[in-house]
């Protein structure tokens, strides 16, 4: 490790960019270096609001900034590929908001480009860097609840959203799956790995994106994962892992937990892992750790995992009839 600060750039000025920027100072050694947007006015306003040193009126200018080490791509899904390509081509490390792209083929292109240029690339699945989630995976891996037999997870937002909203726009990668379903899918993957079978069903909006989707994953071990996501109904947004000797329950907001419950028969254990902020600082810290140690990808969110999840979402979209 090194005491040298990591100089962050943010590409995009929307809601997720603001949330990440608010948590970024909580990552030890993070320097708020620059912001890039398609207009200098938007970049300047964002930089002033969050305390970044410089503002750039184009993606290319941000990517060319010699005082930036890594760029967080925070555009809508449909622009991730183009934005990340600009940064990678300029030799900048990239943390790309999830999902990395709209399909596996374009995610593979980003991975190849990163490897060709010898730069770091990571999908921003912040859930995988959360300390409670990491404690859960360690508990499961150590046999703390026996052999896992089932995973359940749901993520739904209260709708309905207007037809003009990005969540209903196919051109922006709208729908429940890419925005919300990616979390239950990643959670199941963390615990059970890649499935042997993917079965899904969905109700589509008039625009042709998925409004509510259900997914059933089957595994060679005999385990199953039942997952749902919706943009027209707030579900409990919780998760559970059932094993042969116990169960782990995650509370609402399972994707950013500050604790969990372990039940073994009549014994119930409450585990608390509190932290400041929203929890985005943990993925920033992981990026910094990788950069300081020379890792080309993160072991918490490796390229292979990104591509496996993208394959699952491609398969689900093919089954439910969603195209972009």
- Tell me the residue ranges of DSSP E strands in the chain: 6-11, 30-36, 54-56, 70-73, 93-97, 121-124, 148-156, 197-204, 210-218, 224-230, 239-243, 247-250, 259-264, 267-272
Domain boundaries, the chain: 6-125, 131-278
Query: How far apart are the C-alpha atoms of 324 and 317, rounded to whole Å?
Result: 10
User: Who contacts 47 (Cβ-Cβ below 8 Å, separation ≥6)?
Assistant: 34, 35, 53, 54, 55
DSSP state of 126: G
Phi, psi of 47 (to 5 degrees): -60, -45
Q: Record the pTM.
A: 0.96
Task: Give the Cα separation of 40 and 153 in Å (integer).
Answer: 41
CATH homologous superfamily for the domain 131-278: Dihydrodipicolinate Reductase; domain 2 (3.30.360.10)
Output the pLDDT for position 277. Answer: 97
Are 6-125 and 131-278 equal in CATH topology? Answer: no
pLDDT at 1: 43
Give the pLDDT of residue 3.
75
State the chain's maximal CA–CA distance in angstroms: 60
**CATH of the domain spanning 6-125, picked from 3.90.1580.10, 1.10.287.3510, 3.20.20.80, 3.40.50.720:** 3.40.50.720
The tens place of each residue's pLDDT in the chain, 324 residues long, gives 457 999 999 999 999 999 999 999 999 999 999 999 999 999 999 999 999 999 999 999 999 999 999 999 999 999 999 999 999 999 999 999 999 999 999 999 999 999 999 999 999 999 999 999 999 999 999 999 999 999 999 999 999 999 999 999 999 999 999 999 999 999 999 999 999 999 999 999 999 999 999 999 999 999 999 999 999 999 999 999 999 999 999 999 999 999 999 999 999 999 999 999 999 999 999 999 999 999 999 999 999 999 999 999 999 999 999 999
pLDDT of amino acid 72: 98
CA distance 141 to 135: 10
- pLDDT (0 to 100) of residue 202: 98
DSSP 53-121: SEEESSHHHHHH-TT-SEEEE-S-GGGHHHHHHHHHHTT-EEEEESSSSSSHHHHHHHHHHHHHHT--E
Spatial CA neighbour of 288 closest among 13, 22, 280: 280
Contact 236, 227 (CB under 8 A): no
Q: Note the pLDDT of residue 2.
A: 55
How many angstroms separate the CA atoms of 215 and 79, rounded?
Answer: 26
């Amino acid at each position: 490790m090194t005491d040298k600060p990591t100089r962050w750039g943010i590409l995009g000025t929307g809601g997720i960019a603001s949330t990440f920027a608010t948590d970024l100072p909580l990552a030890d050694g993070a320097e708020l270096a620059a912001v890039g947007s398609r207009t200098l006015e938007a970049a300047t306003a964002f930089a002033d609001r969050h305390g970044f040193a410089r503002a750039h009126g184009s993606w290319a200018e941000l990517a060319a900034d010699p005082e930036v080490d890594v760029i967080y791509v925070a555009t809508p899904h449909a622009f991730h590929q183009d934005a990340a390509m600009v940064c990678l081509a300029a030799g900048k490390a990239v943390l790309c908001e999830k999902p990395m792209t709209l399909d596996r083929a374009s995610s593979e292109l980003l991975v190849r480009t990163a490897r060709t240029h010898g730069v770091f690339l990571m999908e921003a699945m912040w859930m995988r860097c959360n300390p409670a989630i990491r404690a859960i995976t360690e508990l499961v891996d150590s046999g703390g609840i026996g052999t896992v037999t089932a995973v359940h997870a749901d993520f739904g937002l209260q709708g309905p959203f207007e037809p003009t909203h990005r969540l209903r726009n196919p051109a922006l990668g709208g729908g429940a799956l890419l925005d919300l379903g990616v979390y239950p899918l990643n959670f199941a993957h963390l615990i059970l790995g890649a499935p042997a079978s993917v079965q899904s069903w969905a109700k589509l909006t008039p625009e042709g994106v998925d409004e509510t989707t259900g997914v059933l994953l089957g595994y060679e071990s005999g385990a199953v994962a039942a997952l749902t996501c919706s943009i027209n109904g707030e579900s409990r947004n919780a998760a559970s892992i059932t094993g042969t000797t116990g169960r782990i329950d995650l509370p609402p907001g399972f994707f950013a937990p500050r604790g969990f419950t372990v039940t073994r028969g009549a014994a119930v254990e409450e585990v608390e892992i509190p932290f400041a902020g929203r929890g985005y600082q943990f993925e920033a810290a992981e990026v910094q750790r990788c950069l300081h140690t020379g890792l080309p990808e993160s072991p918490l969110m490796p390229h292979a995992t990104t591509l496996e999840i993208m394959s699952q979402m491609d398969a689900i979209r093919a089954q439910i009839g969603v195209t972009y």
